[in-house]
């Protein structure tokens, strides 16, 4: 029986667009994006987020652009070049994605007024134009008044109800009080001096930390670890309630430092198998000024205002829309900062809509528009291989 050898050749399906077809696609894309900008600024555009339908604001431009990309019928290669151009500039300078889209689609008419210095009501005007209503609008206005244009701001999700804003001095460790311990003790917030122990692992039994507990029963101790087994949490809770020990177990989400061992410089006793240390041999180092809450720890000096930071925690009552609220807040905060540093311009659009924008975002948008125009004009043809 002969072995038959068959030669198989790879087959490709190729789609070729010549210069004329490219220009037709570009023209159609400009018309579609012109209409999208008009609906977006007019409050007539929506986007899907999970199982919810949300009314789009100009701050939601990246999501709207994604929706357009999925639904547009223009050639996919041309579409990808356009979308990539807008997303690239948006990533470098917040807000410039929408502005470059408005410029490229001829929705942008002219710049009416420019000013280099802004006041608080000027940033309010930008916030109102980019997100006319909702929680993000009110949050960012408050952040600007709290010094958000010059201070670091941390945005995160919490397990509490309602959205909270706090100004804190010191460094943050994102963690939460062990749930089982918390259910029995119900600690809200404590400020003072604590011994700090950071364990890059799980505390499996009380005997591992017995030496720590015996060494000092007068001072309060914060033990931060990847997790605690129920026996440990119950034992610590019982001793806390009976006022025999002041040990608070916290489950870490983010150490807040580039290197775990950096915590030693601040007085924490660090335990990690990677450096050959064991929990049983841990000793208390020195007391550290801390603020301990259900959802995090702030440690370090509270007297240096220049190190103060703002922490915004979005509550679980927002449900699936927390992602939208955080993204809008990030965009509006960036726009406020850009305007405070570079000034703002009032522009007129094709819908005779007056729109306030940061000068730096407008400069970045013009560069992105010019770059995209050159790319599309110099394309002699596009071959799409499947």
Q: Are residues 189 and 294 in the same domain?
A: yes
Q: Are residues 178 and 280 in the same domain?
A: yes
Domain ranges, residue 34: 14-116+343-385
And the tokens for 162? Answer: 């309602």
Write down the residue that tokens 């000013």 correspond to. Answer: 115
CB 130 within 8 Å of CB 59: yes
pLDDT of residue 1: 45
In a domain, 337, yes or no: no
Rg (CA), the chain: 28
pLDDT of residue 7: 54
Q: Are residues 82 and 108 in the same domain?
A: yes
- Give the containing element (helix H, strand E) for 79: helix 76-92
Q: Are residues 265 and 321 in the same domain?
A: no
In a domain, 78, yes or no: yes
Q: Are residues 125 and 195 in the same domain?
A: no
Task: For residues 103 and 83, give the distance between their C-alpha atoms in angstroms, rounded to a whole number.
Answer: 14
Q: Are residues 273 and 374 in the same domain?
A: no
In a domain, 110, yes or no: yes
In a domain, 100, yes or no: yes
pLDDT of residue 384: 55
* CATH code where residue 252 lies: 3.50.7.10
Task: For residues 237 and 249, give the distance between their C-alpha atoms in angstroms, rounded to a whole number.
Answer: 9
Write down the residue that tokens 């999501």 correspond to. Answer: 63
The pTM for the full model equals 0.70
In a domain, 147, yes or no: yes
Q: Are residues 195 and 223 in the same domain?
A: yes
pLDDT of residue 385: 54
Q: Are residues 160 and 206 in the same domain?
A: no
Q: Are residues 227 and 287 in the same domain?
A: yes
Q: Are residues 175 and 244 in the same domain?
A: yes
Domain count for the chain: 3
In a domain, 9, yes or no: no
Residue 319 CA to chain centroid, in angstroms? 17
Q: Are residues 64 and 180 in the same domain?
A: no
In a domain, 338, yes or no: no
In a domain, 96, yes or no: yes
And the tokens for 161? Answer: 């109800």
Q: Are residues 26 and 39 in the same domain?
A: yes
pLDDT of residue 4: 46
**Residues constituting the chain:** 386
Kindly give the pairing relationship between strand 296-299 and strand 287-293: antiparallel
Per-residue pLDDT of the chain (386 residues; tens, 9 = 90+): 444 445 545 554 455 567 888 889 999 999 999 999 999 999 999 998 888 899 999 999 999 999 999 999 888 888 999 999 999 999 999 999 999 999 999 999 988 889 999 999 999 999 999 999 889 999 999 999 988 888 888 888 877 788 988 887 778 888 999 999 999 988 877 878 889 999 988 998 888 887 777 765 567 899 999 999 999 999 999 988 988 888 899 999 888 888 888 888 888 988 887 766 777 777 777 888 888 888 788 887 655 555 677 888 898 888 888 999 999 999 999 999 999 999 999 999 998 778 999 999 999 999 999 999 999 988 765 555 55
């Amino acid at each position: 029986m002969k072995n038959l050898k068959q030669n198989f050749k790879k087959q490709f399906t190729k789609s070729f667009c010549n210069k004329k077809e490219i220009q037709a696609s570009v023209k159609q894309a400009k018309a579609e994006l012109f209409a999208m900008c008009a609906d977006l600024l007019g409050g007539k555009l929506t986007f899907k987020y999970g199982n919810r339908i949300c009314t789009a604001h100009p701050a939601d431009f990246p999501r709207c652009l994604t929706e357009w990309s999925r639904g547009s019928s223009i050639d996919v290669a041309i579409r990808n070049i356009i979308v990539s151009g807008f997303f690239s500039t948006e990533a470098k300078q917040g807000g410039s994605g929408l502005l470059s889209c408005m410029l490229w689609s001829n929705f942008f008419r002219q710049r009416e007024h420019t000013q280099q210095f802004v006041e608080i009501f000027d940033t309010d005007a930008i916030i109102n134009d980019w997100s006319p209503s909702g929680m993000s609008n009110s949050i960012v206005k408050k952040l600007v008044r709290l010094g958000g244009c010059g201070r670091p701001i941390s945005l995160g999700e919490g397990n509490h109800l309602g959205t909270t804003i706090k100004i804190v001095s010191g460094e943050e460790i994102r963690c939460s009080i062990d749930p089982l311990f918390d259910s029995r003790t119900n600690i809200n917030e404590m400020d003072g001096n604590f011994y700090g122990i950071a364990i890059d692992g799980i505390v499996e039994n009380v005997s591992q930390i017995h030496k720590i507990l015996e060494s000092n029963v007068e001072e309060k101790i914060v033990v931060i670890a990847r997790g605690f087994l129920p026996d440990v949490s119950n034992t610590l809770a019982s001793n806390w309630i009976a006022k025999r020990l002041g040990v608070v177990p916290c489950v870490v989400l983010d150490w807040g430092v580039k290197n775990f061992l950096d915590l030693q410089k601040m007085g924490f006793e660090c335990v990690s198998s990677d450096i050959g240390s064991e929990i049983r041999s841990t000793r208390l180092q020195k007391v550290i000024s801390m603020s301990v809450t259900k959802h995090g720890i702030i440690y370090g000096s509270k007297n240096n205002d220049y190190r103060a930071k703002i922490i915004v925690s979005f509550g679980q009552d927002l449900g699936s829309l927390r992602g939208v609220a955080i993204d809008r807040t990030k965009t509006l905060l960036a726009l406020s900062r850009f305007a405070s540093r570079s000034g703002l311009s009032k522009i007129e659009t094709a819908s005779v809509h007056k729109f306030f924008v940061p000068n730096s975002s407008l400069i970045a948008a013009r560069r992105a528009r010019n770059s995209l125009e050159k790319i599309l004009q110099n394309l002699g043809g596009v071959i799409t291989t499947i």
